[in-house]
Structure 1
Amino acid sequence: MATQSKHVKSSFLPTLIVNGLIFGLVVVFLLGGAYMGYVLYYTVKSAVVRANLPGLNTANLSLPQVVAALPLTGNSDNVAVQLPAVDPAADQNQPTSASGATLPNYEKKERINILLLGVDRRPDEVYSRTDTMILVTIDPNTKTAGMLSIPRDLWVSIPGFQEDRINKAHFLGEQYKYPGGGPALSMRTVQYNLGVPVHYYAKIDFRGFEKIIDTLGGIDLYVPQTIDDPKFPDNNYGYDPFYIEEGYQHLDGHDAMRYARTRHTPGSDFSRAKRQQQVLLAIRDKALQLGMITKIPELWATMSDTVETDLQLVDILELAQLAADLDTENIR
């Protein structure tokens, strides 16, 4: 893979690495896989060296902290309130995330929390809500990780606004030009309501989600029960009926997306969250197959316009290095 990466123009490397690699990194690192962890680490490291990129100063990468109410105009549905203050116990000399949380110190092996956001924007929509929110936590000391799927209809306090469904935080952040946009307000909302720091985010739209799976040649998983959803929504406010039978199935990107998103099953959001995590694990399993390693450059290019993240090159290098030590059995 290192040989193939020599053909990538150095001027494109920052975009390919920061945007394209992040999803593969999230899947492989957060969901396990020692061999691919090493491959990712050394590939990115060598690519950065060849690109001769200037050093990054993490202290200057964070977005400005917001501690005052946002002005609202012409919308009585949202009442501005004082934003929660940043933890006074935090070291104000340390770099902070868009949520105001002090960024983890890799040398001290501090816990890292990353918010994964899945958005579904229709062609006529300017702003979008999140359809999927998963908070991933990694403990470098114990070499364990966990995933928490957050129900999109969870009723919470949105900092700077009144109470609403948690999936509206992204919409409001985009609409009212919150510093850092929808992802930053989503991070702050999760942090404020769950009481845990949120350090980074990675956002992907569903077109990109489908493209990743199709590039991998589809995924294989076991469907525990037949699903018949005649009213699965399409992108034009109509229906895209979805039916899948119980048993082992091979899914392309479109069917995997519908399988992960359908709500037409017993258990509603809980069942949906379980299926979303199942799909992530299936992507991991496919990506870890030896034959998939050669597709990494193609995945980079595929994801360059569909993934957004505040993880920087230095963060990705550190996380990729930690990936080699993460045991799949320690994912919760």
Structure 2
Amino acid sequence: MSSLVVLIVLFGFGFYEFQKLQPKNHFKNAPTISAPTTSQSTRTSSTEENSTDQLKDIPKLKENVLNILLIGSDERKGKNLGHSDSMILVHIDLNNHQYNTVSIPRDTRVHLDGYGYTKLTSVQYIKQATSGAKIGIEAAVNAVSQLTGVPINYYVETNYEGLQSMVDALGTIDVDVPFDVELTHPWYKENKDKVIKKGTQTLDGEMTTELVHERYSLKRVDFDRQLLQEKVLIGIAKSAVQPSHLTKLPKLASTISDFLIASNMSKTDIVSLGLALKDVNPDQDVKYYQLEGQSESLYDDILQNNNSQIVLNEEELQEVMKHFK
């Protein structure tokens, strides 16, 4: 079946273009998002709030090694502002066929130049409000790069409507739900108090959206929501790499605007990435990491009040990030 996929893509793009689309050719000189606008520190003392942070010197990755940041925004249709509600960093090593992902807590404490200390989720919102959509998303990407100390080549941002459209384009996805999830804060009011049961569930776009949106009923709140988002990501990946869907890659790439709010990936980037991942088994070939930290009540310079923020364990952070370099 994989040879049939190659033939169909080859027919659609032509031999020369197909060769350029081969992942090791296409991503040989992947861009690195630079000019960070956000610096990060684990400092919590108010006496240090006005000091100048030094931006980390972040080296580039090797050829054919990529870091892609997946951002889920709470931006609603027709609006131009949104918080970074979820962030998943994906590492793809085409040389060694190694794939890693890590979820980054939305409430992680970071320092935003010109504003002070705040939550990671607020960086995109405040920079969009003051400098526009593109600057906002790039600020969020650079915040993650500075936080983790690893370069980021591409970003892909979607919102709940985009996620719903993406899953609906695939039909349904199977999600290994690790625990019962009661929808106490649903995206759609008619779904309030419904329960998505523990176990493998076949979900459409709407219920997938509800699953990744819920956090208030979860025992570990955002950390459990990160786990749910990981399970949904696996479900989408497993569905997307099915041969019947891989043949639709050119068509899906041409309608990518239906799913995404923003991305620096071109249509050919997306098609080439699909070719790179066509034989990946999300259950066996991908390693999943989750960053945890200490929840503390700290002063937020943007919101001008104390709120719950997560201070990551620096040693644990560096140990995980070894797999993203």
Q: Same fold (TM over 0.5)?
A: yes
Aligned position for 1:279: 232
**Matches of 1:330 and 1:117 in 2, distance apart?**
22
Give SS of 2:14's match. Answer: helix
1:43–1:230 distance in 2 versus 1, CA, 3 Å:
farther
Among candidates 115, 124, 143, match of residue 170 of structure 1: 124
Give SS of 2:88's match. Answer: strand
1:197–1:293 distance in 2 versus 1, CA, 3 Å:
closer
Greater mean deviation of Cα atoms: 201-210 or 124-133: 124-133
- Partner amino acid for 1:46? G
**Matches of 1:60 and 1:326 in 2, distance apart?**
21
Aligned position for 2:313: none
Q: Does 1:291 align with 2:215?
A: no
Aligned position for 2:207: 255
Give SS of 1:163's match. Answer: strand
Q: Cα RMSD (Å) of the superposition?
A: 3.9
1:42-93 deviations in Å (ceiling 9; x for gaps): 477539949xxxxx9x999777836799xxxxxxxxx998674462x85xxx
Aligned position for 1:331: 286
Q: CA deviation at 1:246?
A: 2.8
Gaps of 5+ in 1: 1-33, 51-55, 70-78, 91-101
- Partner amino acid for 1:199? N
In terms of fraction of residues, the more strand-rich structure is: 2
Among candidates 96, 105, 120, match of residue 142 of structure 1: 96
Q: Does 1:116 align with 2:70?
A: yes
Q: CA deviation at 1:316?
A: 4.7
Q: Normalised by the size of structure 2, how large is the TM-score?
A: 0.67
**Matches of 1:260 and 1:47 in 2, distance apart?**
40
Aligned residue runs from structure 1 range 78-97, under 5 A: 84-85=54-55, 87=57
Contact 2:37 2:143 in 1 (8 A): no
1:115-174 deviations in Å (ceiling 9; x for gaps): 111112135744111111111112233321111111111122224431111011111221
**Matches of 2:279 and 2:273 in 1, distance apart?**
10
Aligned length: 266
Q: Does 1:220 align with 2:155?
A: no
Gaps of 5+ in 2: 19-25, 40-48, 288-325
Aligned position for 1:65: 35
Contact 2:241 2:277 in 1 (8 A): no
Aligned position for 2:263: 309
Q: Normalised by the size of structure 1, how large is the TM-score?
A: 0.65
